[in-house]
A and B are shown apart, each in its own frame.
Chain A
């Protein structure tokens, strides 16, 4: 029972702050709402026997990534850009059709799922979420994906440097 209450609180936090991320006009407030959503998701990870992923979520996501967001928002100025009326407003009904259709489809798939035991709580018999288990999984099975992520980070860093350089050259060094 306690687990379900904990899940309810974390899920409520994640969904309500997710609504805030999507609806709030001010980018700064949306980024702060995203922090709340990310910490709620970290609580969900804790409940799912994934303490290491939960800690990485808080350190990397709620720490580094959102701080990067806030830095760029501060650089661009806090005022929201003045865009004028939306030229595509008449097509917004299709957005709602897609969202509601997908929601109904996902609900039916979940309710009618014949995956054995998906409607009950699995019993954890071994250590799957500790840093020890994750480290062993990376070394034993996933050493190639691990190296591939380092390549992804390298490419992203080179791309960011080239983008910044081109932006400065486009202004003729101003």
Chain B
């Protein structure tokens, strides 16, 4: 998916870069504020035309990383390479990077058109060329005819579209966005997610996007870098992160997860996760990926839609390569396209199950004693120290 996007970058700002040269390379990037290490050794390579999202909770270092790429903050260690050029010590105005802020940061004393013309004026473009390109940029964000308005005469969504036009009009080598849709309401945010995605794709722009909204990250990105405590916890496509989280943190952060903790035991063909008087089979692939020592504290991550609810004596529970745990239905919620069940395990842990409505499955009621089953390969094994 991302590869095809990279090669459509003809119209974008990648003209100076070789097609196979990475648009951005971060090596061992670090930033400390006094004793606090805000960014702790980030390595990242972004391809030309790729849309990459830095996702993480606040304080995880994603915004600081973005600000270092923009040049607003000087890194304390490591290097930043943009389009093959070392930019580690280049001031922001010479990095040729477009930036979009959460609060739009449009110049209030200039009209929309003047705002968009600003980067072109800084590059000493001619008057007629500026006029033409401003008109093109306004058309790109579908705000023709709004050029004469001042920012305060525009709605939040319109302001952010002008900010987008201003950031792309000079064909920057990189487009950086710092939670650009965070200040908008849900409906507008969803519409703009698609619009930003389409425009950046149309331009073939390389985008580094920062958000704490995992759904936004999944919708827009080619790849996502999950940040935690100043480091990239996992880097991959959305489905990688969802299907194969490498840690409890990632499993918890992306989507909804059921986490079954226990002690990991190895055997010839994979292993087991043991807890109290039950134990669950762990597939060989999962065991190999998790690379855990036998006897360590671990957890199985099972997504709510991968769990099935069956009767206590259902033969499906006895099938090979299926794990089982007893549970009691606490709530059964009808949500239109899906049915959501909240269940309780014998030790009191809550577990969520989501099933498609209309699959011909039996409908369960609160109070039902049931068995929860899942295929061995549908659970991911991760380390869970302290559990």
A and B together in one complex: no
